[in-house]
Structure 1
């Protein structure tokens, strides 16, 4: 079922592009087909062949080498065969095979092949092809021996996910796109790979959903349109959706969140998405996402350079949406609720002000020292609501602080928690899927830095330990429940591309949340 509550005066102003964004379904980027034909006979534009650093393990190359007149032998003897993890060689004009072009992909040594290095090698390979449209690409599933601790099924899932990610860039509005979806991807194996193909496609499409939401500009992506998109996806994938408009948020005493939205012409929304795949008595996990669809800084106005990428400040909300859609499509046996706190932080005569005292849902009073420390004000009320709804364990994700990027860099998320076991499970899930995160302390001594002079707490603790004091602020609103806060300000959005990823939104965190739900560690 889907329930929508909207502030009608704003909805009437939505233009056609906003309506298109809000009501569109997930787009299938390519046909993925299984093929049991010998790789040497497969006909298409490019045949992708993974290669191990250990030449004795490359038994799958023998037929290709023989049919191509010893091409691979000559490349190996010349030292041109790519074997280092992530190295690529494009070979054109091949004779004797069904495909006239080979893409050789190095996987490195099996004993050190990780999920992350496999993902990066495969995504780099597909990105090297998707600058051209309408390609048929075949990928050879290698023997288990060259995959180390990985299985052929895991390889196929990773390859299908990589093909989806590698086919989409941030150039959503360019007349001539730099990235193009494949016409078809052919998984070449004698084994049944249907389940791995489906899993890889679902994960890739979920990550692309998150990436699209973050990459689209604030003129299309605002609290109202994101809520509407959630409603459409809920109908498509059997989620229960409840959308909280301004009167409902006021009735729920979510005054901290509403204060942030006061300066914008677009009203706040909170979205609650329920997935029930287990018995009602099973553990109930809440995924909470910060959804500041544009952050000007409010009256503590950001400079131009700092504001330029602030469409990405809703990446936490986009991530939990992508994750719960994937969880529903995978039909995982868990009970999960996603909460998206959606606001714009803008400047006007009605903006909340420095020195204001806000009263959050749980009665904690907050002294506003910086209107650019707004994400924690949104999450405060949403976390309170999740606890009141019976959440037994919580993970929140937010592009919360630049301080976390200073501490850990752009590739690594910060982990903050009040519960070592729950935190360990989240970190373990991230390690399994190859997403980097690192724990930072939440010791009691940091509470003194946010102790209020006029209210109970201040919304910023100053320059030192800024990522930690932001997390300590959030801890006041989780009611003692096992809670993990992921500060994804670094890895959620990238300013430059690398071989294995596009610039812009990355979809970081979706795989970790799905793995957490998929594993048996959901129950403490």
Structure 2
């Protein structure tokens, strides 16, 4: 989909030829003398329209308005949350077959965050999955104009949000694919495709490579399936090689049957979503390809299936991780932490500035936070605060949970260094405590997205979260790094004499103009 940002007041919006004009009306709307203002004012006066978030009124062929259809949409205070929820409420209008070109116009001055929310709301509302449908009704909406009174103030937020939507849709696409269309090999192929973009490199390792690395926990999960595992390493280099990278680790269980600890049959199909952590890493790199920020990022994806073959891992088995720690397997359905622990050990070789892992890890996190916020665990307060702030900015929320050492008591076992589960109480925390054992001295955060990565029921499908959160975090980290980097020194006459290029640059530099008296 193509997005454009355009300077539009209500009179100009009325002249825009399109299939659908969506007018975002906030609290305290002050009408002008134009035709759209008159329509909104009359609708509000007669209580046919409310500015409450999600309230809308559809009109057809309004006299004096070029758009075929007009939708007046209440967005409450007009902040990012109100705009996002309001646009989502208009999903049916945006997905109509007859709507190919739409204009979303703010009826009052809009903040940068609100504009970003409008872009992401449109993309989310109009997304259609088609990959495995024989007669799919593809998305018809192809161009959307975002109209604001002042484009200069929101251009950067608009451009960032468009890139985020590209990444989110990439993650949703791979998250939604059934397991036979998203095997570890196909996931690796998707990562290789990202390497076509500037600054991105990809390395894919197979079973032999992983065995040489000593990733015994990762290999143990994959031993019950016929699909060969893949360990995917992505690198985005946007800054000097001396700058320590941020490492993202995404859980890539492309289908999780639970293994020998077999899951119930009901809704097991949704276990194709167990690779949404990996999909989010792919989505972030797709967004980085668009944004090209000055930062270095590494993406690690341990990808495999968890199946109950005769060779499969059994409860009571003990495996040796890449770190050398031994793990007693009490439940084969707690496999995500097994593939992640080896990837976290591998991450240390990059001497990272920070490591963030993303995983659909525990049902306990769904019980704790539902589908609103992702669970956040962190060993570093600054990292935790940066992720929380990025989530707020991206409207992709998370919530920090504790990592007290007392929670690790349940992971003790008589037969290995650690057990892979610690019982039902505080299950999301004990899972995080397990992962923490494999983290070095670098700042580390864990995002449990089991409740936010996909939706069930009639709206079943991947959400693309937390791509927005992670991209905002990386952009903020990039901005901080740029601010901390001293500017290059200007060439002096002495260095210019030794360097003809520098000398030429100095010679061309204009002299400062003396200030006028009194200035």
Q: Is the 1:214–1:312 Cα contact (8 Å) retained in structure 2?
A: yes
- The corresponding residue for 1:82 is 50
Question: Cα offset for 1:128?
Answer: 2.9
1:316-371 CA distances to partner (integer Å, 9 max, x unpaired)? Answer: 01111111221232111111111111010012111111111111111010001111
Equivalent residues in 2 for 1:88-99, closer than 5 Å: 88-99=56-67
- The corresponding residue for 1:73 is 41
Equivalent residues in 2 for 1:155-194, closer than 5 Å: 155-170=114-129, 172-174=131-133, 177=136, 180-189=139-148, 191-192=150-151
Give the Cα–Cα distance (whole angstroms) in 1 for the partners of residues 45 and 150 of structure 2.
Answer: 32
Q: Is the 2:19–2:98 Cα contact (8 Å) retained in structure 1?
A: no
Q: Is the 2:50–2:74 Cα contact (8 Å) retained in structure 1?
A: yes
- The corresponding residue for 1:19 is none
Q: Which SS does the other structure have where 2:86 is aligned?
A: helix
Distance 1:54 1:134, change over 3 A: closer
Question: Cα offset for 1:134?
Answer: 4.9
Of 78, 90, 104, the residue aligned with 1:125 is 90
TM-score normalised over the length of structure 2:
0.87
Of 495, 506, 512, the residue aligned with 2:469 is 512
Give the Cα–Cα distance (whole angstroms) in 2 for the partners of residues 332 and 367 of structure 1.
Answer: 42
Of 396, 404, 409, the residue aligned with 1:435 is 396
1:107 matched to 2:72 = no
Give the Cα–Cα distance (whole angstroms) in 2 for the partners of residues 306 and 42 of structure 1.
Answer: 46
Give the Cα–Cα distance (whole angstroms) in 1 for the partners of residues 189 and 13 of structure 2.
Answer: 45
Q: Which SS does the other structure have where 2:311 is aligned?
A: coil
Larger relative contact order (Cα-Cα within 8 Å, sequence gap ≥ 6): 1
1:64 matched to 2:35 = yes
Give the Cα–Cα distance (whole angstroms) in 2 for the partners of residues 224 and 175 of structure 1.
Answer: 24
Equivalent residues in 2 for 1:231-246, closer than 5 Å: 231-246=192-207
Instruction: Name stretches of at least 5 consecutive residues in structure 2 with no aligned partner.
Output: 485-519
Question: Cα offset for 1:196?
Answer: 4.9
The alignment of Structure 1 onto Structure 2 pairs a total of residues equal to 477
Q: Which SS does the other structure have where 2:94 is aligned?
A: coil
Give the Cα–Cα distance (whole angstroms) in 2 for the partners of residues 428 and 183 of structure 1.
Answer: 32
Question: Cα offset for 1:129?
Answer: 2.2
Give the Cα–Cα distance (whole angstroms) in 2 for the partners of residues 72 and 83 of structure 1.
Answer: 10
1:246-283 CA distances to partner (integer Å, 9 max, x unpaired)? Answer: 11111111111011011111111111111111223334
Q: Which SS does the other structure have where 1:235 is aligned?
A: coil
Which has the greater radius of gyration? 2
- The corresponding residue for 2:300 is 339
Q: Which SS does the other structure have where 2:316 is aligned?
A: coil
1:472 matched to 2:433 = yes
Give the Cα–Cα distance (whole angstroms) in 2 for the partners of residues 168 and 65 of structure 1.
Answer: 29
Give the Cα–Cα distance (whole angstroms) in 1 for the partners of residues 148 and 402 of structure 2.
Answer: 47
Give the Cα–Cα distance (whole angstroms) in 1 for the partners of residues 311 and 480 of structure 2.
Answer: 43
CA RMSD of superposed structures (Å): 2.2
Of 137, 148, 173, the residue aligned with 2:102 is 137
Q: Which SS does the other structure have where 1:328 is aligned?
A: helix
Distance 1:476 1:123, change over 3 A: same
1:483-509 CA distances to partner (integer Å, 9 max, x unpaired)? Answer: 110100001111146xxxx53111111
1:166-186 CA distances to partner (integer Å, 9 max, x unpaired)? Answer: 221346544565662413222
Q: Is the 1:82–1:104 Cα contact (8 Å) retained in structure 2?
A: no
Which deviates more from structure 2 when the two are superposed, residues 115-124 or residues 317-326?
115-124
Question: Cα offset for 1:123?
Answer: 3.3
Question: Cα offset for 1:73?
Answer: 3.2
1:315 matched to 2:276 = yes
Q: Is the 1:116–1:435 Cα contact (8 Å) retained in structure 2?
A: no
1:295 matched to 2:266 = no
Q: Which SS does the other structure have where 1:50 is aligned?
A: strand
Instruction: Name stretches of at least 5 consecutive residues in structure 1 with no aligned partner.
Output: 1-28
Question: Cα offset for 1:189?
Answer: 4.7
- The corresponding residue for 1:402 is 363
Give the Cα–Cα distance (whole angstroms) in 2 for the partners of residues 483 and 181 of structure 1.
Answer: 42
- The corresponding residue for 1:221 is 182
Distance 1:134 1:74, change over 3 A: closer
Give the Cα–Cα distance (whole angstroms) in 1 for the partners of residues 186 and 318 of structure 2.
Answer: 30
Give the Cα–Cα distance (whole angstroms) in 1 for the partners of residues 133 and 237 of structure 2.
Answer: 40
Q: Is the 1:39–1:64 Cα contact (8 Å) retained in structure 2?
A: no
Q: Which SS does the other structure have where 1:256 is aligned?
A: helix
Distance 1:195 1:445, change over 3 A: closer
- The corresponding residue for 1:25 is none
Distance 1:382 1:211, change over 3 A: same
Q: Is the 1:159–1:200 Cα contact (8 Å) retained in structure 2?
A: no
